[in-house]
Amino acid sequence: MQNRKDPDGCTYKQCSVGLLRGPRCRRPIHKSESNKRTKIRTNVNRLVEEYCSHSTIHGMSYIGSKRRSLLERLWWISVFVLSVYGCGMLIEKIYQKWTNTPVIVSFDERPLPVWMIPFPAVTICPEAKISSKHMNFTEDFYRLINYDQSWEPLDDNRRNRLLAVLQICDDFFHYNENYPELYAETNHRVDVVGILRHLSVNVDHTILSCWINGRECNNLFTETLTEEGICFTFNGFSTYDMFRDGVLHNDYSYLNEPKNVTDWTVEAGYKPDENLSSHPIRALGSGFGAGLTMQLMAAEDNIEQHCREQQGFKVIVHPPSEYPQVTKKFALVTYSRDVTLAIHPVIMKTSAELRSYHPKRRHCYFNHERWLKFFRVYTQSNCELECVTNYTLKTCGCVKFSMPRSAGTRLCQTSEIGCVLQAEYKMLKHSAKRRLQKLQTYDTACDCIPECISIQYDAEITHSKCDFKKTLELRYGPINPPVREAIWKKQISKLAVYFKDVQFIASKRTELYGMTDFIANCGGILGLCLGVSLFSVVELLYYCLVHPMLMMKKSLGGKRKVAIVRECEGNRF
């Protein structure tokens, strides 16, 4: 130890542990780093021991107890780990159920009367579409193909008419490998819709009589353009209500319904104070007398079996907001038949708590969630029609005349109808493969899942054979002989569409597993296996966050400050 003086004249000594003032060596006033780590480890051990001894979670008191042997503590640790693993597996299953099947379909609490929903739209498509006064299909077709070179060739006008009519004939005329080459010889554009409207029979030669709600309804049938040509629709939407503004072309119209929808929507229904004469029309009750009855007729001169195999009238019963598609579903009313369609409405509702769900979870779209380019109202059928149109345009570079299209989109000529048919089949095949790969019921390539609030109409069909010509002859023949002669030149059928019951039970999508149910199920499993409750979670947070901070604050607050004082050997006092 050596004596040294500082600049002030004070004597200090230097020892091996450091510089100290005064006559003798003192211990260092700062603790070493090893002592700090030891104290931290001790505090952590004390904190863990305190948590284990006071925790409400099962088994923690056995794991943290120092009175237990190491073997016992390992046993309880193993039991605790297995319990946590079991909880995780069960909660994973509940989560998958909550994610994949959160919706259940059940019956609504109250029945609905039939006057609270619209009467279905009814579209009539006569198979004898072309008036024989304007065209002989068989003769013109033989002139076109000219098997034995004995027929005179067609002039341009008759050729254009034939090519236009061939677009609504059976698939046979488009799958034969030789026919499309003959169709392709005409390079100029054919006005298909204009020619069909000129050649087709009108509604007065198709609807003989019509009654609903005690009044005539012949004038309520309007022209509708479908994939099978000109049809006639009752109680459908107008162009304004069906299509969006400024999207369609202006070459021709698809719908000729003059009445717009008044105070009715698919999601909200009719207004309570709305009268019964609103559009769409609604039935006043159930049964045959409150339904739609009509007599359909076709001139025998217009009936031919060359263009189309089926004979009679195709009837499509569909919601007013849905664009009719004849090839998807129809009931065939053959000649001299009395057919009745007893309608059972199928209504699907969706509860309000499901609106916050993603559409993929509830498997449906509300109208504002799925935007269609052409159609104003979203339905699964409208979406599929728009998707087929887009796929056909992509595959063939054109669309069929009945498909909605924008200005500038090219119409397919008769030689390209085979491509249109193949495009639809390819799209259906692609959608089927997609559903099989993803194992999903509603998922399609077009993203056309059902609408959340929908109206569909199931029908029970009965038919019988009747000789309406004989009945009309007996009733009107003696009074008006010319009517009897006109009747014998017609084929007549009768059709009745009515609601089967006055009330019906709607279906409703409701929440099967909500957030509350998920939390309750998880809490039940955690409580069963580990005894964990919400208080246990708060307790764990307290010992992980709050209690350590309080210990640190207490440790820092109790630390004393030490001042180093210089001292001289001779002048201490």
- The neighbour count for residue 565, using CB atoms within 10 Å, is 7
Contact 498, 343 (CB under 8 A): yes
Q: Is 160 a member of any domain?
A: yes
Task: Select from 206, 204, 129, 224 the least CA-distant residue to 168.
Answer: 129
Comparison of pLDDT for 431 and 89, the residue scoring more: 89
**How far apart, in whole angstroms, are the C-alpha atoms of residue 533 and residue 491?**
79
Number of domains in the chain: 4
- What is the three-class DSSP state of 90? helix
Same domain? 223 vs 237: yes
DSSP at 554: H
Angle at the Cα of 227 from the Cα atoms of 423 and 234, rounded to 5 degrees: 145
Same domain? 261 vs 388: no
Q: Could you give the C-alpha distances from 175 to 8, 247, 411, in angstroms and in order?
A: 117, 33, 19
Q: Is 347 a member of any domain?
A: yes
DSSP at 272: T
Contact 112, 118 (CB under 8 A): no
Q: What is the pLDDT of residues 186-200, one digit of tens each?
A: 667 889 999 999 999
Same domain? 248 vs 318: yes
pLDDT at 513: 78
Radius of gyration of the chain (CA): 42
- What is the three-class DSSP state of 318? strand
Same domain? 229 vs 340: yes
The domain boundary residue, chosen from 151, 178, 199: 199
Task: Select from 374, 411, 377 the least CA-distant residue to 396.
Answer: 411
Residue 162 sits in which domain range? 130-199
Same domain? 122 vs 226: yes
Q: Is 18 a member of any domain?
A: no
Same domain? 258 vs 327: yes
Same domain? 218 vs 327: yes
The domain boundary residue, chosen from 146, 181, 199: 199
**How far apart, in whole angstroms, are the C-alpha atoms of residue 456 and residue 283?**
16
**How far apart, in whole angstroms, are the C-alpha atoms of residue 163 and residue 100?**
51
**How far apart, in whole angstroms, are the C-alpha atoms of residue 269 and residue 252?**
31
Is 168 exposed, middle or buried (CB count within 10 Å of its CB: 0-12, 13-18, 19+)? buried
Sheet holding 229-234, edge to edge: 221-226, 229-234, 121-126, 313-318, 331-333
Q: Is 25 a member of any domain?
A: no
Percent of the chain surpassing pLDDT 90:
45
Same domain? 460 vs 499: yes
Of the ranges 107-116, 424-433, 472-481, 525-534, the best mean pLDDT one: 107-116
Task: Select from 206, 146, 207 the least CA-distant residue to 178.
Answer: 146
Give the mean model confidence (pLDDT) for residues 483-494: 83
Give the mean model confidence (pLDDT) for residues 107-135: 92
**How far apart, in whole angstroms, are the C-alpha atoms of residue 525 and residue 532?**
9
Same domain? 192 vs 63: no
Q: What is the pLDDT of residues 373-392, one digit of tens each?
A: 999 999 999 999 999 999 99
The type of residue at 293 is T
Q: Is 439 a member of any domain?
A: yes
DSSP 212-268: ETTEE-GGGEEEEEETTEEEEEES---HHHHB-TTTS-SS--SB---PPP-SEETTT
pLDDT at 274: 62
DSSP 163-224: HHHHTTS-THHHHSSSHHHHHTT--S---HHHHHHHHB--GGGTEEEEEETTEE-GGGEEEE
Same domain? 261 vs 353: yes
Beta strands, E only, 311-380: 313-318, 331-333, 337-350
**How far apart, in whole angstroms, are the C-alpha atoms of residue 241 and residue 266?**
12
Q: What is the pTM of this model?
A: 0.78
pLDDT at 121: 96
18, pLDDT greater than 60: no
**How far apart, in whole angstroms, are the C-alpha atoms of residue 163 and residue 414?**
6
Sheet holding 11-15, edge to edge: 2-5, 11-15, 18-21
Q: What is the pLDDT of residues 541-563, one digit of tens each?
A: 877 877 778 777 776 665 555 55
Same domain? 225 vs 263: yes
Lowest mean pLDDT among 204-208, 495-499, 553-557: 553-557
Percent of the chain surpassing pLDDT 70:
87
What average pLDDT does the chain have?
Answer: 84
Q: What is the pLDDT of residues 44-57, one digit of tens each?
A: 777 777 777 777 77
Q: Is 371 a member of any domain?
A: no
Q: Is 473 a member of any domain?
A: no
**How far apart, in whole angstroms, are the C-alpha atoms of residue 248 and residue 201?**
26
**How far apart, in whole angstroms, are the C-alpha atoms of residue 95 and residue 402?**
47
- The secondary structure of 446-492, three-state, reads CCCCCECCEEEEEEEEEEEECCHHHHHHHHHCCCCHHHHHHHCCEEE
The domain boundary residue, chosen from 177, 199, 221: 199
**How far apart, in whole angstroms, are the C-alpha atoms of residue 478 and residue 468?**
16
- What is the three-class DSSP state of 346? strand
**How far apart, in whole angstroms, are the C-alpha atoms of residue 47 and residue 40?**
10
Same domain? 220 vs 256: yes
Q: Is 22 a member of any domain?
A: no
Of the ranges 29-33, 149-153, 388-392, the best mean pLDDT one: 388-392
**How far apart, in whole angstroms, are the C-alpha atoms of residue 74 and residue 88?**
21
CATH number, domain at 386? 1.10.287
CATH number, domain at 109? 2.60.470.10
Comparison of pLDDT for 205 and 522, the residue scoring more: 205
pLDDT at 270: 87
- The neighbour count for residue 263, using CB atoms within 10 Å, is 14
Q: What is the pLDDT of residues 295-344, one digit of tens each?
A: 999 999 999 889 999 999 999 999 999 999 998 889 999 999 999 999 99
φ, ψ of residue 295 in degrees (nearest 5): -115, 125
